[in-house]
Structures are given as structure tokens and as C-alpha cells.
Chains A and B, each alone.
Chain A
Amino acid sequence: MTAFTEMACPLFTAVGADDRSFELSDYEGAAARWCPGCGDHSILTAVERLLVAEQLKPEQTVFVSGIGCSSRFPHYLKTYGFHGIHGRALPVATGVKLHRPDLTVFVVMGDGDCTSIGAGHWLHAIRYNMRMVALMLDNAIYGLTKNQTSPTTPQGHKTNTQPKGSYLPPLNPIEVALGVTNASFVAQTAEWVPAHLFATLRAAYRHDGLAFVRILQRCPVYTPGIYQLAVQKPDVIELLVHDDGVMVPELERTYKNRITHDPRDLNRARELATVGEHVRLGVFYRDETKPKYEDTRRTQVRTVQERVGLLNAELDKYAV
């Protein structure tokens, strides 16, 4: 509850302090209808855990999504939700947050949503750096429309639109995000490592700015194999560890490959995002000092009487 929040949003005071406590069931919406084995289930569970852990008020929390399998997310939660159109979750979230800095905003996108049809918004939202969590659930395929190549589909992977195999090397979302001016939090995690997923979500939620999190996510129907190696062989994975990043001590027995990475080191982050064969999980970059768009746009709250007075003064300038 910063002074800014109270100033920018008079509504804030409308919701009084309460002593409610929330359990998992307080956040559960409709039964999820994703395929059995879909990684989205585990992400939903981790998000629900986060909501409980942080005791977020359901009415003060908004999940905004686009279109795709993962974008059904808000329906399965009992918070406010806005399930919009393909690729455009971020502008809607921007609007919510511009008007209501007091609300906690999560954005849930798929890889097609975020890195293809909505790629323009993705870059600009990172640059706006508004306080929100932007999750990209990356199963490297268009699932809802049934098996088409996405920008993150591995080269050579066969789909209905590129049956001889995806033509080009996949887009690297972490590399892209790290390249955007004013990026302030870029992380990668995987749905099959629930402890890491939760810890990353929590770090993202607690970050002061836009937290972009790419969540590697299995699609059991169309891309069951692409993360198979990483799931089965923990040594394929390399954890980025640092006190300012994500630390999950209980994973250390399983995941032997660890590299200490200071999330303030942008050049090193870019190197880690692009060089080497490991699948790296952790916080690549974090800098809370970056300007936030909503702070630059803070305006005075004016009463109706004040505004009438100001407008009359405006009309005076145009008076005959």
C-alpha cells in the first residue's frame, strides 16, 4: 500500500481492511478442462498455491488472458478474470493497471499469443514495465487449433502446417525479452519442477515492475517429446542460483548443474540465454530500479467540482 496507490486510486480506501483468510477453495473456479497430462494443470496448481501463500484478495486480483489452451486459465480461478482475444492480453492488462494500480494483475499467455500474434504488445509491455506478472506458458505449439507450428516450435518438429518439420530455428523468448529496453524481470521455469515453478512465481509476484516468466510446458498431445529429455534427465537442466534470484534448496539433490548468476548482470544474462545446450531455469535478469509506466502517468485526483472549475477555465480561453 504505497502512498502512490492511495493517491492514484481513490477507490483503494473504499475497500476497508478485513480479517478474512483465504484457503485454496476460495480461489478455485470451474473444473479445468485441459487434456489429462497437460502442463497447464500444474501451473494452475502453482498459481493457486501462490494466491494462498500471498493471501491475495480474490476481488482485488485480476487474471487477464488471450486465446489458446492456456488462456482458459482465468475461468478456473475464482478471482476477477478477463478472457479476451488472441494476442491482446497485455493491452487489456495495461488498461486495467493504468486505471487501477491497486489491483494485482496476472497475465496468462501462450507462446503463439505472446511471441507471434501479440509480439508487438509483448515488447511494449516489457518496456512499459507496469507492475504485473506476465506468464508465457510455452508448449511450443498451437494446441487449441490442433497442431500448428508456433515461433517457439523446435526446428524440424513436424506439425500440420509444416509437415516436413519446422523450417526455422525457434524464437528464443528469453533472448528477446532481455533485449527490450527497460526490461526489469526475466525468468524461466518449467511446469514439471513444481518447487522451482512456485518459487519463480513468487519472485515474479514480489517483483516491483513487470515480471516476464516463460514457463516451459508439456503438451501431451502435440509436443509430448520436446521436453522429454529435460524431464527425464535432470542433468540437461542448469539452475541459475543467486540470493537475488530463485533459490530452491530442496532441488539441489536432483539438479546438480547449478550456476551462480547475479540477476543484475545483463550481459551475462544474455550469454546464459543464448549459449550452451543446457535448459536453464531461474532468474536471468532483475532490476527494480527501472521506471514503471504507471508511475510516470500518475495524475492528481480531482473532485468533480475541481474539474468543473478547470473546464470552465478552459472554456474561458475559447470564449467569444
Chain B
Amino acid sequence: MPAPHRAYPYREPTTSMSTEIRELEPTSPHTFPPTILRRAEHTVEIVSDSGEGAQKCGQIFGAVSAKMGNGVWTVEIIPAEIQPPPRMPDGASGYRIRIGSEPVTNWGDETNLVVAFNEQVLLARHRLGALAPDATILLENKWESHPDEDVQQAWRAAHEELSARSYRIIHVPMDEQCLTLVDNPRKGKNMFVLGMLACIYEREMDRIRDQIAYAFRKKSEEIYAQNVALLQLGYDWAREQIDFRVEVRATPVTQPMVVMNGNEAIGMGVLAAGFELCAMYPITPATSASHYLGETFDRFGGVLHQAEDEIAAAGVAIGASYAGSVALTITSGPGLALKTEFIGLAVMTETPLVIVDVQRGGPSTGLPTKVEQSDLLAVLYGQPGDAPKVVMAPATIEDCFHSMITARRIAEAFRCVVVVLSDANLATGVQPFPRPVLEDRWMQTSLDQDAVPPGTKAYDWDERTGLSRRVIPGQPNGAFTLTGLEHDARSKVAYSGGVHQHSSAMRSRKLAVLQTMLLPAPIHGDDSGDLLIVGWGSTKGAIEEAVDRARAAGHRVSSLHLTFLSPLPPGLRETFARFAKVCTVELNYSDEPDAPFITPDNRRLGQLAWLLRAATLTDVDCWTRVPGEPLRPGSIADVIQTKLVEARPLPNVPAHSVRGAA
């Protein structure tokens, strides 16, 4: 009999951590050896006020864990402001690392161990439901005896609020300890915390010191030495004061791996793909990809151009591409909106152009630092007029790298616009992946300066495919004027209906031709069943983990993840027909079916759901959320339960055992 909701095994219970050691006083010497908690996976987060270095600490912990052979997925906890006021729940800044014995494909569900620099940022995480009910908390204790009575009061109130759950709170004298080494504990407390975590998780200290050296490579030797001393201080303190260790066994690495975040992977992909120019304008969360290029691109002979605005960034990329460059622009939602007219121009002039859109919450300025998948339809249909283009979405950090190579090849071969839809989750998430084996051909320049035959047309369309030869300034006998006005094959301005019909067809046909080269999207699970979950982009890991849990419990659920959104891969309609129900899971807004006024006729759906309904004439359902954070596999597992019942009500699943999807 299928297990009721959430009863299927999806994670080892973590209750032991709290029960075994709850009554111990953290400041007193313990009876050792400490308790060893063996876990297949564990999620740890460090939260602080902005600027206290929690992210740096987390990044190093994540990188070292990956290098030791653990599966890793990290997520940044970012306030929108650079320096929000201290000790405010809204200002929580931090880093969350899920490590596992096996590869980790998403951020998981809840945090098992938290290091908090003050109780207010901890409250923020508590209120978000980010922490496991039995989470262990290592909390800076200096606020308890703070001279300001208001602070003491806030401390007590917070503990009152936190007591609603059975957390194990360990008070840690972080400041006090750090003051034995440095004058200003605010700078360096993060290394103390890193040392504690290194002890608790049994991380290799040599690797950590190497990573610190790399992270502070632009700083003085003194800074490095001080950081390493604080690291050791934290390690030693934890060794004596913390009564448990967490062992997440690492799988020995059998192939060369690299570890980085998605924006770094995009930056490296830009280098690997042979791009020569990147034009951009600062925008969160896309900019760090440009930071990476800012550090490296010059050495590769490339140019990172920070334009005066988003529009100009697109224009510079188009101008460079027109002149033969391999060019791209990197942006996020609001920037994409500004580039709209230029995107149309690139489509019209068939100028190869790659656009990376690192999606964030919208519309308008929206949620600049938070993940969302809301730009799909804007990218597909955002240009006035018919502007066919290729849209692809990396699902993993590794995809971020390789998608740049694919995007360039398609843009050039098809003389078209290729939009790569990344998102804030991929941008800042860190994950190890197999080290790419670089190929010379990725980097070849496409430039040709030979004379073209006299009479060559600007758009020498192959009438069947719409493909045409790209001619570049410098090539004798070319000398065309490309134009955003409608034109014939010779690029002569022409407004007649016949020309517009034909030229539109030529620009559109290329997508159909590309589709013939795409493989059907692989199905995760069986290729038929009761429910097919369809996703795109960064949600892949969470969806597949949820599907695996459901399948382990005996449910006939599969998932399918789309890398190409335009053109869609072939065979979707046939695949969908083999499942009783098809439902998308997306990080964008859709109306709840049971909300006031919402009916099946007026319900606004998730963006992929709209697209799939139109493309396959299948009654595709959707479950979408805009939580400003990645989806949790546990939430998707809940959805699967609900949708399974809708798909094919099973007599042996009592209705009351199925919790609502919300």
C-alpha cells in the first residue's frame, strides 16, 4: 500500500542530534569522545548581519567540502541592501551549504545546523521555516549581556519565540574568543566560525588554509596569517566545547572535478566558447559573471565593455557581432526589458547574438537578489512583431558552462538570437561538476575576410531552411546595408506583403530546422505513468529528487526537464499522451485554482504551462510558486502527492492523507 503523505523515506531522520545531547552545557568541558552523527547528507548555514563575512565562510566551507569529495549545493542568503541596519531580521545575510555523500543537485529542504551571529538574523530564518524542527543552533552569546537593555530584551524575546520549536541552541562566545587574538572581532569572526565547522564536520584543515589563501589572494600576508590563526582558534574551541561531530562520508573523486558557481561557470563558458566581446551594464544578479570576465577576459584577448546603459550594451554587442565578433550581453529582467528593441533588430538583421538573462523576481525592479523563472514568455514574445529566437535554460552549474558553447554555435550557424535563461539560484549556487575537457574548435573565430562572389545577397536564404551565409564588413563585394526595416534577400527595404510574408518565413523556418537537430527530452523515470512533472532551468535537481522519493514509495511518477524552450524538443505531445496527467513545476506566478474568482477559464498559469498547452494541445496543469528562494524537494514531493490523486484517484490512498499543495 502506498505510504501516506511524507511517509516515504526521503531523508534520514535527524532527531538524534537534539535528543542525545540536549542537556549539555556548552561552556563546560565535556566528556569525550564526542558523539559522532553519521549522515548521508547534512545542511548547514551561517547567518549574520551584512558585511560580517558569513558568505565568505560558507563559500570556503562549500568549496573545501566539494574538494574533499562531498556532493555540494550552496545558496546565498542575500539582503537587497549592501549594508542594512544591524540586528534586523530583514538584513539576514548568509550562506547555506547542503553536503552529501552522493552528488547533491539542489538546496534540499531544511537546515540541520545553523551558525548565527545574532539572534535577530536567526529569527529571520526561523520565521521563514528554513530550519529543521530539531536543528542545532550555534549562536553568538554576546548579546545576552549587552549593555543596551533593549538588546537584552530582544535576545530574551527571540529565545521565547524560538522555543516554539525543539531547536538545540548552543551559546558560543565568538566575540570573546576572537578578542583574544584581534581588536575587532567583526573582521575575522567568520574564520572562527569556519574553524568550528571544520572541527564539527571534520574538514581537512590544509585544504581550508589553501582556500583561505586563494580567497584572500589580493590581501596581505598579515591578513592571511590572522585569518588562519582565527580559524585555528575556532577549531580548537569547538574541539573542546562541542560534544558532537557530523560525519558525511565523502565519495572518493574518480574523475577530475571543478567547483564553482553558475555565474563563474557562465564566465568560463564565455571564455571556452571563444567569445571576444561581452557588453553589459551592472545588474543583480547577473553582474558577477561580468566580474569574472573583468578579471580574466583581457588575458584571453577579449573585451568586457561596461556600456552606459542596458540598451547600449545590446547595441554594442550587436555592432561587434555585425563586424564579425563573437559577442554577447549579460543581463537580468529589467535589463532584458530595455534591450527589447535591439533584440528585435538582431532578429531582423539576422545578426548572431547571445544574451544571458540571469533571472530574478519581477516585474519591474521586483526582487533583485531572489530567484525566479518569470522571464520565459517575455523572452519568447517580448518583441513587438514576430521575432523568432532560440531560448535555452541551463539546469545545473555544469550546464551554465556548456550552454555558452552551444549558444554560440547556434547563434552563428543560424544567424539568430540565442537567449540563455539562467537564474539567481544557479548564479550563486556552488556545485562540483566534471572538469570540462576543452576543445580547440569551441574557440575558433568565425571570421572570414575573403571576397564574396559578386552578386552575393545579404540574406542568401536557402529557400527550404532559411539559413544564409553571414557576410562581414571587410569582405570585398559584400558592402550591404543591413536594416531593421523589412527587406528582401538583397536587404532592399520592401514593405510589400509578399516580401514581408516570405522574409518572416525565412526567419522563422530556422527554428523548425534547429528542432530537427534536437534530441527528445530525456524522461527521468519510466516513459509512461500516472503523472509527468515538467520543469525547466534550475529546478531540475529538486524536481528529480522529489520524483525519486515518490518513485521509491511506488508511485508512477516521472519528470521531464526542458533545456530548449524555443524550439521545443520534438515528441513532447506523444510523451505527454503516455501519462494520465502532466503538470509543470515552476518558479513563477500562477493563480491558485481555488482562489476567489479563479475558474479554469480565467486561471493564469505558469509560463511553461502556457507554452506547453499551446504547443501540444495537452491539458497541462501547473504548480508554481514565487517564494524568492529555490523550491524544496519536500514541497514538490507534496505536490506530487496531490497531483497524483487528481491524475488518477487511487482507491487505496485515503483522501484525508493528502495534504494540500500549499
Contact = CB atoms under 8 A, between A and B. Distances in A.
A11 B324 contact: yes
B203 to A, nearest CB: 14
A11 B474 contact: yes
A60 B436 CA distance: 39
Nearest to A74: B481
B233 to A, nearest CB: 27
A92 B264 contact: no
A268 interface: no
Nearest to B482: A82
B485 interface: yes
Interface in A13-50: 14-15, 29-30
B124 interface: no
A320 B315 contact: no
B342 interface: yes
Contacts of B341: 85, 88
Given A11-B324, A315-B268, A317-B214, A94 B316 contact: yes
B479 A78 contact: yes
B311 A83 contact: no
A59 interface: yes
Nearest to B312: A91
Contacts of A260: none
A95 B447 CA distance: 16
B481 A96 contact: no
The listed residue with most A CB atoms (<10 A of its CB), out of B296, B305, B474, is: B474
Interface in A280-317: 297, 299-302, 304-305, 307-308, 310-312, 314-315, 317
Contact of A311 (B300, B305, B315, B482): B300
B438 A95 contact: no
Interface stretch (A98-106, A146-154, A200-208, A222-230): A98-106
A311 B319 contact: no
Contact of A95 (B272, B320, B474): B320
Contact of B279 (A15, A95, A102): A95
A80 B479 contact: yes
Given A96-B473, A297-B305, A103 B312 contact: no
Contacts of A74: 481
B325 interface: yes
Nearest to A94: B316
B302 A299 contact: yes
A95 B312 CA distance: 9
A21 B274 CA distance: 37
Nearest to B308: A124
Contact of A318 (B264, B276, B478): B264
Contacts of B214: 317
B323 A100 contact: yes
Interface stretch (B49-57, B252-260, B409-417): B252-260
A318 B485 CA distance: 47
A98 B320 contact: yes
B435 A319 contact: yes
Interface in B289-342: 296-303, 305, 307-309, 311-325, 327, 341-342
Contact of A29 (B276, B345, B481): B481
A59 B479 contact: yes
Nearest to B344: A85
Interface residues of B, number: 76
B34 interface: no
Contacts of B438: 308, 311-312, 315
B586 to A, nearest CB: 30
Nearest to B452: A59
B439 to A, nearest CB: 8
A302 B432 CA distance: 29
A311 B270 CA distance: 11
Contacts of A97: 319
Interface residues of A, number: 59
A62 B473 contact: yes
Contacts, number: 211
B159 interface: no
Nearest to A75: B481
A77 B483 CA distance: 13
Interface string B585-610: 00000000000000000000000000
Contacts of A297: 303, 305
Contact of B268 (A91, A93, A123, A311): A311
B492 interface: yes
A95 B268 contact: no
B449 interface: yes
B328 to A, nearest CB: 12
Most buried by B among A14, A58, A84, A97: A84
A94 B315 contact: yes
B299 A85 contact: no
Interface string B445-482: 00101100000000000000000000001111111111
- Interface centre among A80, A299, A310, by most chain B C-beta atoms within 10 angstroms, is A80
B569 interface: no
A99 to B, nearest CB: 4
A311 B265 CA distance: 12
Given A83-B482, A308-B440, A75 B327 contact: no
Contacts of A88: 311-312, 315, 341-342
Nearest to B271: A311
B277 interface: yes
B301 A98 contact: no
B556 to A, nearest CB: 37
Interface in B54-94: 66-67, 69
Contacts of A190: none
Nearest to B435: A315
A29 B277 CA distance: 31
A85 B438 CA distance: 38
B153 interface: no
Contact of A58 (B276, B303, B479): B479
A102 B303 CA distance: 16
Contacts of B298: 299-300
B322 to A, nearest CB: 6
Nearest to A95: B319
Contacts of A103: 323, 473-474
Nearest to A58: B479
B182 interface: no
A119 B190 CA distance: 47
Contacts of A84: 315, 318, 345, 484
Given A84-B315, A96-B320, A96-B473, 7 more contacts: A59-B474, A59-B478, A67-B484, A95-B321, A100-B324, A300-B299, A315-B435
Interface of A: 11, 14-15, 29-30, 58-60, 62-64, 67, 74-75, 77-85, 88, 90-100, 102-103, 120-121, 123-124, 297, 299-302, 304-305, 307-308, 310-312, 314-315, 317-320
9 contacts: A11-B324, A79-B479, A80-B481, A81-B482, A84-B315, A85-B484, A94-B319, A297-B305, A304-B444
